[in-house]
Amino acid sequence: MDVPVAANVLGTIGAVCWSIQLLPQIIINYRRHDTEGLQPSMMLLWAAAGVPLGVYNIVENFNVALRIQPQILTALSLLTWAQCLYYGKKYTIPKCIAAVVPLLAGLGGIEVGLVFALKAALNRDLSWPMTLMAVLSACLLAAGVLTHYWDIYVHRTVRGISFLFVGIDAAGDLFSLVSVLFEPTIDVLGMVIYGTELALWIGIFICGGVFNLRPWIQSRRKKHHEQEQEPVSLHEMPSSTSVFRTVSGSEVVGRRPRTHASDP
């Protein structure tokens, strides 16, 4: 369906979500001065994914928000990767800058070149390069998230990743996906790109519920139950009194000291 206003509004919301998606993760990394559990390979894969995604969205002439969105993804991904180098591998700040800036410039140059190349290919009625860009971006985005699935499998918990970041990113995928539906023609490949990552993030939420939330709830219930079972003494007991708890935990029994020497 062709509803340009809806496409632009939804695309803008999706771009805003993608613009701030990594900010909670970046803030958490900064506050704890650690990136343990956060996969550096995910950040590199996402930075690379921004190139074919940006080429595809620009050449397909999607709304402005969706064309800017991949550039923000690449920039924030590289910033987060720099944190992994700084906190995880103990790189100095100049060394981090030396690693990130050339990579950012290189990815930007590749994207510009591919935009001109794919526009020329479309003028010659060649469609397979566009299909390649869509598939490549979807695979890189998915591969980035899948690195966390391996970490979850190994450690049996979701660690190092902010669920706020996951939620914002999933919302960005959802709004971007719906935005594509309101373009003049429904772009199936565009839907696959955003839909694939959205499905993987939903899986991360499910894993968080199984490995993080459920044990937390069980531990809280166990702690509350133990507190209820603790005996409460209503009066001070003499220091010579031997006190013990029965098996049921519901009674407290006191043993009085002997008062007669003739007692057995």
Report d(CA 138, CA 87) in Å as an integer: 29
Q: What is the pLDDT of residue 191?
A: 83
- Range of weakest confidence among 57-61, 83-87, 251-255: 251-255
Q: Reply yes or no on whether the pLDDT at 86 is more than 80.
A: yes
Q: Reply yes or no on whether the pLDDT at 108 is more than 50.
A: yes
For the chain, report the end-to-end CA distance as a whole number of angstroms: 98
Q: Band of the pLDDT at 107, cuts 50, 70, 90?
A: very high
Average pLDDT over residues 106-128: 93
Instruction: Read off the amino acid at residue 141.
Output: L
- Range of weakest confidence among 7-21, 63-77, 200-214: 7-21
For 184, list phi and psi in degrees, rounded to 5: -55, -40
